[in-house]
Every structure is written in C-alpha cells, then in structure tokens.
Amino acid sequence: MAGRQTIFRGAQIYDGSGEAPWMGDVEIAGERIISLTPPGGIAAATDAIEVDAAGLALAPGFIDAHTHDDRIVLDKPDMLPKISQGVTSVVVGNCGISLAPVTFEADPPAPMNLLGGREAYQFPRFAAYADALRQSAPAVNVAALIGHSALRLAAMRDVGRKANSAELAEMCALADAAMNEGATGFSTGLFYPTNAAADEDEVSTIAARFARQGGIYATHMRDEFDRVLDSIDETVRTANAANIPVVVSHHKCAGPANWGRTFETLPRLEAAAAQHRVNLDVYPYAAGSTNLRMDLVTSDYPIRISWSKPHPEMTGRELSSIAAEWGCDLHEAARRLDPAGAIYFQMDEADVRRVMSSRLAMIGSDGLPHDIHPHPRLWGTFPRVIGHYARDQKLFPVETAIHKMTGLTARVFNLADRGLLKPGAFADLVLFDPATIIDKATYDVPQALSLGIARVYVNGRLAFTPEQGVIARAGRLIGGRNNVHGE
Ligand SMILES: [Zn+2]
C-alpha cells in the first residue's frame, strides 16, 4: 500500500453525491481513499495517523467551477484564498480569457488584462502552460479551459470582425493541440470586445473541435441584461451544433430592469437541459465584478472600484463619491480611472437564490485574484454557500450545497475520481465544523480567512490547517486526457 495511512474517526460524512450525511470512519493512504465504514470499522494500525473527527464534517475537497486563477497558480502557488475555503481544485480559463496559447508584444487588451500585462502571457502553446504548472506545483489541482479571446488574439490581426477561414483553421489547430496537451475544454466571453465579433458559426466550429476530444464548453454569454433569453437560446443552439456539453457561466439577470427574470431564464435552461447537457455556475453574491466598462456605468446601482492604474488611491471607493469629489459625472470619472476594475451591485438577491437553488447550478467563485480590493467572492464563496445560505438561511440542505461544489462539478467537467468520497477516489478532502463554517470576507474587508475549516487534503497530503496555513503544494493538472494519463 502506497504511503502512510490516515484514519478519520467519527466524522459526519458528506460524500458529495447530495445524499444525507452519515457517521463513519474514512481511511486514506497515498493519494487515494481506501475505505469508508461505520464508526469503528477500520482497525488501528501502528503507524497510521489518527484524526479525531468528532463533531466535524468530512467532504470531498471543493471544486471551484469558475475561476480566473490561471496566473495566480503560477505566481502565488500556495493559493491561500482558495485552499483556506476548502477548495482543492479550480477550473481556470473562463470567460474566453486564458493564459495560453497566446503571447503579446504590447499590453493585452481588456478583458485579457484581468490576468496581467504582457509579461504574464508567456505560453504560445498549452503544453508550455502545463509545464509551468508542473514547476510551480500549486496547492490546488487545476483543470484548464482554453479561452476564445486567447485563440482569436493568437490567430487574428483584427479581432473586431468574424474570423476568416484561415484564422478559423488556425484556431481549430490550436484547440486540437491544447486538448492533446491536457486542456479540459473551451470558454467564450461573447460579452467582451475581443470575442463579441464571433458569430455562432465561429463559436460552434471551434467548440466542435473540443467536443471531438471529450471537452466541455463554458460561456460568459453575449448579454446578461435585457437580451439574456436570446443569449441562452444562442448558447443552446451553439452547443447543440457543436455537440458539446455546455455551462452557462455566472448566470445572472443583471440590471434592475431584469430583476426577477430568473423566473424566465431558469425554465428556459431546464427545458434545454432535457435535450442536451446544460449546467450553470453561480457565485453567492448580488454584485458582479469585471473591468470598469463605460456600458456598465450607471446610477441604477452602486459601483465600487477594485483597482485603477492611473488612480490607485481610489481603490475600494464608490464611483459616485469619486465623481462627487472630482466634480464630474460618473462616466467622466470612469474615463479618468480607466484602465480599472469595478464591483457592480447589479443583481437581485432573490434571483441569486433562485439560480443557486437550481439543480443545474454549480458553485464557482469567479474571484479575481489580481485585484487590489477584490470582490469578497475570492475569499468567501464556499463557506458562504454552506454556512450562510444552507445552514443559516436554509435555502437548501448542506448536502445539496456540498454536491454543488463537489460531485456535480466533477461530473460536469469530467474530472475522474474527484468530487466524491468513495474507495479508490483521490483523497481531496475538507474537514470542517458544520456549526461554525462561515465566510468573513466583505465588500469593505475583502481579504479575510473564512472560519470553520479544520483541515484540507489534496491528493492525500495534508495541505492546509488554519493554525499552520499552507503546508503542502500537492496540486496538479487534472481533467481532459490527464484523466487517462495522470500521475
Ligand atoms: Zn465572465
């Protein structure tokens, strides 16, 4: 048997399937789970590490279905904002934005600058990114999507139009190579200027290449405001044409005029899911965050600055108060702050709850790890769903919350042997106190450790405790062909 055993005694076991918890013992050795039994079912062994889990819950490590952690897993591989929440795997490359396969001679355009400047983009092939990941050895596992904006900027001189056939062929070749080299799938950000000129044909042609190798498709849709239903229809048509499972990213109905419209969007998604593999991801907050964009600047909802290149001193402040101080209107203030990032309080809490409650919904933080004053979702998403929404607000049972961040996510992204506690699965584990688990990050103090996480294991290694911080960096590239050729 590979490696020393660890035996957890008397844990409340949430196995990730969505079933109710049960009391039991769990044994792991090497990288894998060996057995789960009723209490006392595992014999003591002289050199085994015994963990008294009385009063604690044991679950599969959480999988963050939607991240922009492409660079942070290389630059700050201890991944404290995520592993401290119990996250053991992250899906990177969302919203059409990925670090590979593209390089730049000047600073990259928005939204690619969410991951950094020109120096961040060093990976003309996905294989080079996979190598860098192996070198950096992050604390969490990484499943990687390839962004359509990255492909377009690699293959096209002018991304303001639809790709011609030569450019499309180049993007398809890059897609094939990336899947061969270990990517998990494809993402678009049709809302963004670097991606918006792509039509359904362009998207589905590329998505079909990912589909051929078992990939998945995630999309930040063209419109999450007035035309959100049209965007859902476009998403479903595109995914159908490409014959690829699809995830609607950070589903929302944005802007006060659209509040309440999840009563329309969720049934539309459910109907599509009856015909085709459709899921969605969602973060547990009524504010979104991205670049500061003129078309999102409005007095309809508060806007907070998360970073600004020309005016870093305004970080964390409200746009309206900056405009008042400068004696100008909101748009002029935004122009002066640009390039910048912002937090937009553009959603209705009731919509957020309905989306989270959908059986199609996985939890994804969408955290932005390079922001100076980030949206609190970066540090708080997972404990917030369990502690605030499931335990305190009783929006759904705790086992449902955990399923949405483990078993469901592993199934949707085809992450083999992850997301469930069962013999033979990888020992990605989180031990937490179900009575106290809660997020502490807020819009005012966005970088704060959550409470109630006791121990986190990645690939069988103890990786985090609140007392010791990050102990081990045992993460690796997962998903795609890594499922077959892993280790
Ligand atoms: Zn997005």
pLDDT value of residue 258: 98
Helix, strand or coil for residue 463?
strand
Residue 50 gets which letter from DSSP?
E
Domain ranges in the chain with CATH number 3.20.20.140: 62-293+344-412
Q: How far is the CA of 366 from the centre of ligand 1 (A)?
A: 7
Among 139, 163, 129, 1, which residue's Cα sits nearest to residue 76?
Answer: 139
Cα distance between residue 472 and residue 340, in whole Å: 34
- Provide the pLDDT for residue 2: 52
Instruction: Tell me how far the alpha carbon of residue 95 lies from the centroid of ligand 1, in angstroms.
Output: 4
Assess contact for 130 and 73: CB atoms under 8 A.
no
**Minimal CA–CA distance to 112: which of 195, 176, 170?**
195
Å from CA of 232 to ligand 1 middle: 15
Distance between Cα 125 and ligand 1 center (Å): 23
DSSP state of 406: T
Q: How far is the CA of 255 from the centre of ligand 1 (A)?
A: 16
Shortest CA distance to 268 belongs to which of 219, 231, 218, 223? Answer: 231
Name residue, tokens 């985090």. Answer: 464
188 Cα: distance to centroid of ligand 1 (angstroms): 9
Find where tokens 């999507």 sit: 145
For residue 220, the CA-to-ligand 1 centroid distance in Å is: 5
Contacts of 363 (CB under 8 A, 6+ apart): 62, 64, 65, 281, 282, 283, 284, 356, 381, 382, 385, 401, 404, 405, 409
What is the distance in A from the centroid of ligand 1 to the CA of 94? 7
**Parts of the chain belonging to CATH 2.30.40.10:** 5-60+422-480
CA angle 41, 416, 458 (to 5 degrees): 65
Q: Looking at residue 1, what is its pLDDT?
A: 45
Q: Which of 367, 374, 389, 372 is nearest to 439 (CA)?
A: 389
487 residues of the chain, pLDDT tens digit each: 456 899 999 999 999 999 999 999 999 999 999 999 999 999 988 899 999 999 999 999 999 999 999 999 999 999 999 999 999 999 999 999 999 999 999 999 999 999 999 999 999 999 999 999 999 999 999 999 999 999 999 999 999 999 999 999 999 999 999 999 999 999 999 999 999 999 999 999 999 999 999 999 999 999 999 999 999 999 999 999 999 999 999 999 999 999 999 999 999 999 999 999 999 999 999 999 999 999 999 999 999 999 999 999 999 999 999 999 999 999 999 999 999 999 999 999 999 999 999 999 999 999 999 999 999 999 999 999 999 999 999 999 999 999 999 999 999 999 999 999 999 999 999 999 999 999 999 999 999 999 999 999 999 999 999 999 999 999 999 999 998 644 4
Contact 358, 279 (CB under 8 A): no
Q: How far is the CA of 470 from the centre of ligand 1 (A)?
A: 28
> What's the CA gap between 485 and 102, in Å, rounded?
25
Q: Which two tokens stand for residue 195?
A: 């991606």
The CATH fold assigned to 294-343 is: Dna Ligase; domain 1 (3.30.1490)
Distance 193 CA to ligand 1 centre (A): 13
Ligand 1: centre distance to CA 289 (Å):
9
On whether the pTM is more than 0.85, the answer is yes
**Alpha carbon distances (Å) from 370 to 42, 68, 75:** 45, 9, 11
Helix axis angle for 165-180 and 148-155, nearest 10°, is: 130
Beta strands 246-248 and 216-220 are parallel
Location of structure tokens 């492409």? 70
Domain with CATH 3.30.1490.130 in the chain: 294-343
CATH assignment of 62-293+344-412, given 3.40.190.10, 1.20.1260.10, 3.20.20.140, 1.10.260.40? 3.20.20.140
User: Contact at 8 Å (CB) between 250 and 66?
Assistant: yes
For residue 397, cis peptide bond before it (omega within 30 degrees of 0): no
pLDDT at residue number 485: 45
Q: Domain 5-60+422-480 classified CATH 2.30.40.10?
A: yes
Q: Residue 7: helix, strand or coil by DSSP?
A: strand
CB atoms within 10 A of CB 431: 21
